[in-house]
Structure 1
């Protein structure tokens, strides 16, 4: 099944999720991460591979790793059946194939329907990024980036190149960041602080950012004297980064605020979505050194 772009408009605060099963559990993945869904192909084992990794396959001339989601979640880890499906994904500038037990359907939902996971869900080895209730069922959205990070720690956000960039008065700049992942909020804070951007406020989703900006307006404060730049993820419960950007760029009092989308979903196939809502720059995780460089460029004349 080839990825489809059913949504006619970008920035509607909607997404499509592919529902799949592992054992008796129902899970979901954002369609924007999915390149295609295929029948299982012969897998070549790789010596000393991580226990989540079955091996590699060749798909259209590319050699791709196959990750067994059941092993990653400790749900029927040794169960491999003919009905299994392979979900071919692309995010964080990597292509990874995930084996699941079945793929059922695609749902179109609003980010407002996706609830932040409670602590009780976090007992699973891999984090759940959200929960959506559909037709009496609960579909758990998995943190696929976390699975890949467990396998390949070198894919994490790196700070080694940050100090090499333009030296400017970064400490005076007020930065707001919309990011729902606690792990990434910590990494972003550490790396931006090391780069000299020390005046940072974090929000868990786009809705919280809009609430903050509306409060500034109600209090009669000049946004541009209070905030210098916004960094936002795309995938966030309640309000995603594309809809957040659209709201800001369509509001006359806010439209000049520089916005950078920093997301695992920045690929050449998806870059047009950010452009359509008027974002100033798009940086793919984990290239945070490029994020700092772009921040310096956008703030150079402020």
Structure 2
């Protein structure tokens, strides 16, 4: 695990190059997914999660990691697959977006890779407006779907915030 994080740390130092550094992971099937390592703050074994009554359906719970409390989102469920939470052996990819930390629950971590920008392609046409992809690429002959985690966070935060914008009536 520390070797993977060392690789993420090392690769995140490569700003300004003509390549994208990706952390590859799986959500429970053979499909490979990726996230830009510049968005990754930390990767760790899934800690104990505290359930939040009334939370968004994509949120597995809250975790406190190094003194920071954050929501952990079931990434598989967020993209329309069967949820991962509760199966055990999972990992959390911690990102920062809008000055907030959030975790994304994934099943397995693969490795980090460098992919030149000419090999990064837009999502397939016909994906619709609500798709979760920011791009796709091929690595070792396998399709890698690069997930738009900001879009997923925005959905969770916006929908959850709307609940509390309603006036409280007794």
1:128 equivalent in structure 2: 133
1:88 aligns with 2:99: no
CA offsets 1:174-197 (integer angstroms, 9 cap, x no match): xxxxxxxxxxxxxxxxxxxxxxxx
2:73 equivalent in structure 1: 67
Secondary structure, aligned partner of 1:32: helix
In the TM superposition, residue 11 of structure 1 has moved relative to its aligned partner by: 1.7
Matches within 5 A, 1:11-26: 11-24=16-29, 25-26=31-32
CA offsets 1:51-101 (integer angstroms, 9 cap, x no match): 000110111111111000111112122554322111111133221100011
- How many residues align? The count is 154
Cα separation, 1, equivalents of 2:47 and 2:102: 14
Name the structure where helix makes up a greater proportion of residues: 1
1:28 equivalent in structure 2: 34
Bigger relative CO (Cα 8 Å, ≥ 6 apart) = 2
Secondary structure, aligned partner of 2:63: strand
1:117 aligns with 2:123: yes
1:252 equivalent in structure 2: none
| Equivalent in 107, 132, 147 of residue 142 of structure 1 | 147
1:51 equivalent in structure 2: 57
CA offsets 1:92-149 (integer angstroms, 9 cap, x no match): 32211000111111111111110011123348x5421100111110000111011011
Which of structure 1's runs of 4+ aligned residues deviate more than 2 A?
5-10, 78-83, 119-123
Q: Aligned in 2, Cα 1:8/1:54: closer, same or farther, shift over 3 Å?
A: closer
Secondary structure, aligned partner of 1:43: coil
**TM-score, structure 2 normalization:** 0.82
Matches within 5 A, 1:129-278: 129-153=134-158
**TM-score, structure 1 normalization:** 0.48
Unaligned 5+ segments in structure 2 are 160-170
Secondary structure, aligned partner of 1:48: coil
1:107 equivalent in structure 2: 113
Name the structure where strand makes up a greater proportion of residues: 2
CA offsets 1:173-228 (integer angstroms, 9 cap, x no match): xxxxxxxxxxxxxxxxxxxxxxxxxxxxxxxxxxxxxxxxxxxxxxxxxxxxxxxx
Cα separation, 2, equivalents of 1:78 and 1:89: 19
* CA RMSD after TM alignment: 2.1
| Equivalent in 24, 27, 44 of residue 38 of structure 1 | 44
Unaligned 5+ segments in structure 1 are 155-302
